[in-house]
């Protein structure tokens, strides 16, 4: 029994004392038993998980799409009903994956280069159950697609057929990764002995993508083992591309904002004046001005006319006539008092 009672347990005890209700005590016992039966998931702090829930969710979505595509691929090759379903995506140690494999397997070693990455040691494994392997061979050779009842190793001819078959299964993997990173998966070789796998330590973290594959009435498992080193390169490249795309979007947004501002400015109306010259005249002279009087300006007769925009002089030119209207032919551009 728990050392500390909850408020609901205390209330039940008080009710049992007042009403002398034995059912209340049973309810307390059931509640305490239920609390004791709660499952607690252990976490090993000596070997922490390397990938977050978002990473696992991303991989789940990628290979869920892959399961649908590879179902159509295998159906087209074998000309029979095939269903591939994604079961789970889980992070674990490599020795947990390798220890679960039988001695005789059909294991594809896949070279998984990420374009743009300096790391060239990216790879993964694809394990297909023996039932599916022999069923595929039987179907490719014109049979009904029934698996063998006996447990034996693959022959050289069967491995050649399965190698061509697995090349197609591996090749379409780049299509589901295209929206995230650009990869070029390639089948390196087929292994039939799980104990000679190299290139990864037993204590290294891996992500296992477990799938169920059904060909006619034959059902088996197909597991994809992705080392943590490969996934770290992929997620690093994806983060860099995402940052680059974000920066590009910000630059495009800023460029569009400036374009909109300049567009509004270009469509605004500006008053332009042609100034022949200026002169300071006393008020008494202005009052007595009459028709025929002459006002001498501060410019000579061969001086150019100043064209002002607002308070600034932008252009200088010569006065002339165009279509029976006064006009100014621009000779100099000053752009607010400075030479262009």
Say which CATH number the domain at 127 has: 3.40.1550.10
339 is a domain residue: no
Q: Do 210 and 319 fall into the same domain?
A: no
Q: For residues 175 and 168, give the distance between their C-alpha atoms in angstroms, rounded to a whole number.
A: 12
Say which CATH number the domain at 311 has: 2.30.330.10
Domain containing 230 equals 53-241
283 is a domain residue: yes
Query: Residue 63, Cβ neighbours under 10 Å: how many?
Result: 23
pLDDT of residue 64: 94
pLDDT digits (tens, 9 = 90+) for 274-290: 888 888 888 888 888 88
Q: Do 86 and 231 fall into the same domain?
A: yes
Q: For residues 115 and 326, give the distance between their C-alpha atoms in angstroms, rounded to a whole number.
A: 67
The pTM score is 0.60
Q: Do 196 and 276 fall into the same domain?
A: no
Contacts for 66 with CB less than 8 Å, ≥ 6 apart: 86, 172, 173, 176
Q: Do 222 and 92 fall into the same domain?
A: yes
266 is a domain residue: no
180 is a domain residue: yes
Q: Do 59 and 208 fall into the same domain?
A: yes
pLDDT digits (tens, 9 = 90+) for 72-112: 999 999 888 899 999 999 999 888 888 888 878 889 999 99
Angle at 192 between CA 74 and CA 222, to 5 degrees: 35
Query: Residue 107, Cβ neighbours under 10 Å: how many?
Result: 22
Q: Tokens representing 89?
A: 């995506």
Q: Tokens representing 53?
A: 């829930």
Q: What is the mean pLDDT of residues 184-212?
A: 87
Domain final residue pick, 194, 224, 241: 241
116 is a domain residue: yes
pLDDT digits (tens, 9 = 90+) for 11-30: 777 776 665 555 555 665 66
Q: Do 91 and 133 fall into the same domain?
A: yes
* Total structural domains within the chain: 3
Q: Do 231 and 148 fall into the same domain?
A: yes
The candidate with the shortest Cα–Cα distance to 194, out of 104, 92, 95, is 104
């Amino acid at each position: 029994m728990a050392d500390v009672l909850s408020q609901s347990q205390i209330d039940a005890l008080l009710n049992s004392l007042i009403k002398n209700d034995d059912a209340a005590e049973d309810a307390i016992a059931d509640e305490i038993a239920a609390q004791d039966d709660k499952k607690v998931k252990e976490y090993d702090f000596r070997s922490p998980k390397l990938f977050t829930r978002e990473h696992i969710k991303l991989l789940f979505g990628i290979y869920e799409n892959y399961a649908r595509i590879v179902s159509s691929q295998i159906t087209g090759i074998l000309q029979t009903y095939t269903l591939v379903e994604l079961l789970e995506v889980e992070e674990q140690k490599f020795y947990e994956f390798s220890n679960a494999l039988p001695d005789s397997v059909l294991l594809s070693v896949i070279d998984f280069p990420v374009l743009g990455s300096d790391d060239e040691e990216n790879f993964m494994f694809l394990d297909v159950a023996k039932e599916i392997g022999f069923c595929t061979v039987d179907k490719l050779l014109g049979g009904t697609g029934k698996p063998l009842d006996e447990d034996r190793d693959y022959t050289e001819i069967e491995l050649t057929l399965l190698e061509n078959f697995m090349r197609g299964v591996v090749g379409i993997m780049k299509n589901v990764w295209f929206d995230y990173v650009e990869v070029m998966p390639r089948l390196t070789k087929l292994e039939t002995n799980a104990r000679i796998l190299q290139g990864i330590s037993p204590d290294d973290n891996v992500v296992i993508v477990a799938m169920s594959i059904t060909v006619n009435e034959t059902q088996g498992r197909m597991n994809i083992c992705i080392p943590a080193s490969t996934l770290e390169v992929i997620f690093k490249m994806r983060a860099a591309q995402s940052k680059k795309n974000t920066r590009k979007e910000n630059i495009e947004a800023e460029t569009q904002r400036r374009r909109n501002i300049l567009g509004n400015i270009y469509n605004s109306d500006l008053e332009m004046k042609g100034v022949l010259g200026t002169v300071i005249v006393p008020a008494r002279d202005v009052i007595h001005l009459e028709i025929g009087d002459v006002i001498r300006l501060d410019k000579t007769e061969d001086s150019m006319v100043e064209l002002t925009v607002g308070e600034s002089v932008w252009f200088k030119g010569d006065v002339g006539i165009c279509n029976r209207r006064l006009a100014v032919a621009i000779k100099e551009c000053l752009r607010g008092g400075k030479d262009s």
